[in-house]
Amino acid sequence: MDAAISELQKPFLDESQIASSRTIMGLDTQLINDGTYFIVEADGEIAGCGGWSRRATLYGGDLSPGRSAALLDPEKDAARIRAMYTHPHYTRKGVGRLVLSLCEDAARAEGFRKVEMMATMAGEPLYRACGYETHERLVDDRGGAPVPLLRMGKPL
């Protein structure tokens, strides 16, 4: 995660924005406790990770303020896609696409009919390639420098 945040955002953000993004990225351990987080291994190394959630928090790690563990209603709410990271040694090999499809299948199996996430600029090309559309553009400056984000989603 650290390597992905530091290296893979460089084409999209400046150094102060990458530093700022650490406040709003990283792992929310609730995902691990819920059993909704995936790791992809290649040759015994972690190539990537990512998960989904049936809880209200849209984005953020353990250090991010304002998270909510409230359960979503599959009838009307969108399941969340959370904390997608590919190690820089394994990019553009389909790891992100694989994790996303595992998350979508799991959310669908629990009855959700749509999925949503807060995308970074680095994540946008993956999500767009996988059929997600932008619902809202915003900026999060809780970490200092303003970090552009996109709320994206798609029907399942």
Ligand X SMILES: CC(C)(COP(=O)(O)OP(=O)(O)OC[C@H]1O[C@@H](n2cnc3c(N)ncnc32)[C@H](O)[C@@H]1OP(=O)(O)O)[C@@H](O)C(=O)NCCC(=O)NCCS
Per CB under 6 A, residues contacting ligand X are 4-5, 8-9, 48, 84-86, 91-97, 117, 119-120, 122-123, 125-126, 129
Choice between 14 and 73, CB closer to ligand X: 14
Smallest distance from ligand X to CB 72, Å = 18
Smallest distance from ligand X to CB 75, Å = 26
Choice between 77 and 124, CB closer to ligand X: 124
The burial of 76, by beta-carbon neighbours within 10 Å (0-12 exposed, 13-18 middle, 19 or more buried), is given as exposed
Distance (Å, whole) CA 132 – CA 37: 20
Smallest distance from ligand X to CB 44, Å = 18
Buried b (16+ CB within 10 A) or exposed e, 105-126: ebbeeeebeebbbbbbbbbbeb
DSSP label at residue 65? S
Distance of CA 9 to the CA centre of its chain: 14
Smallest distance from ligand X to CB 132, Å = 10
Choice between 27 and 122, CB closer to ligand X: 122
